[in-house]
Amino acid sequence: MQFDRLRLTGFKSFVDTTDLIILQGLTGVVGPNGCGKSNLLEALRWVMGENRPTAMRGAGMEDVIFAGSGRRPARAQAEVTISVDNSDRVAPAGMNDADRLEITRRITRDAGSAYRINGREVRARDVQMLFADASTGSHSPALVRQGQIGELINARSQARGRILEEAAGISGLYQRRHEAVLKLDGAEANLKRVDETLDGLA
Is position 35 an interface residue for ligand ATP (rule: CB under 6 A)? Answer: yes
Entry field: residues in the chain: 202
Is position 39 an interface residue for ligand ATP (rule: CB under 6 A)? Answer: yes
Q: Least Å distance between CB 56 and ligand ATP?
A: 9
Q: CA 70 to CA 180: how far, in whole Å? A: 50
With respect to ligand ATP, which residue has the nearer C-beta, 31 or 150? 31
> Residues 6 or more apart from 195 whose CB is under 8 A from it?
none
With respect to ligand ATP, which residue has the nearer C-beta, 69 or 197? 69
Q: Is 177 helix (H, G, I), strand (E, B) or coil?
A: helix
- Asked whether residue 113 is marked as a ligand-binding residue, the answer is no
What is the Cα 25 distance to its own chain's centre? Answer: 23
Q: Least Å distance between CB 107 and ligand ATP?
A: 11
Pair type for strands 100-108 and 112-117: antiparallel
Render 21-58 in DSSP notation, one character per residue: E--SS------STTSSHHHHHHHHHHHTT---GGGGTS
- Asked whether residue 39 is marked as a ligand-binding residue, the answer is yes
Is position 54 an interface residue for ligand ATP (rule: CB under 6 A)? Answer: no
Query: Between 64 and 103, how does the x/- string for binding to ligand ATP read (CB under 6 A)?
Result: -xxx------------------------------------
- Give the residue, chosen from 6, 8, 12, 47, that forms a contact with ligand ATP under the rule CB under 6 A: 12
Q: CA 141 to CA 161: how far, in whole Å? A: 12
Q: Least Å distance between CB 34 and ligand ATP?
A: 4
Burial 111-122 (b: 16+ CB within 10 A, else e): eebebbbeeeeb
Is position 37 an interface residue for ligand ATP (rule: CB under 6 A)? Answer: yes
What is the Cα 11 distance to its own chain's centre? Answer: 15
Is position 175 an interface residue for ligand ATP (rule: CB under 6 A)? Answer: no
Is position 194 an interface residue for ligand ATP (rule: CB under 6 A)? Answer: no
With respect to ligand ATP, which residue has the nearer C-beta, 67 or 155? 67
- Asked whether residue 35 is marked as a ligand-binding residue, the answer is yes
Q: Which residues are annotated as a binding site for ATP?
A: 32-39
Q: Which residues bind ligand ATP (CB under 6 A)?
A: 12-13, 31, 33-39, 63, 65-67
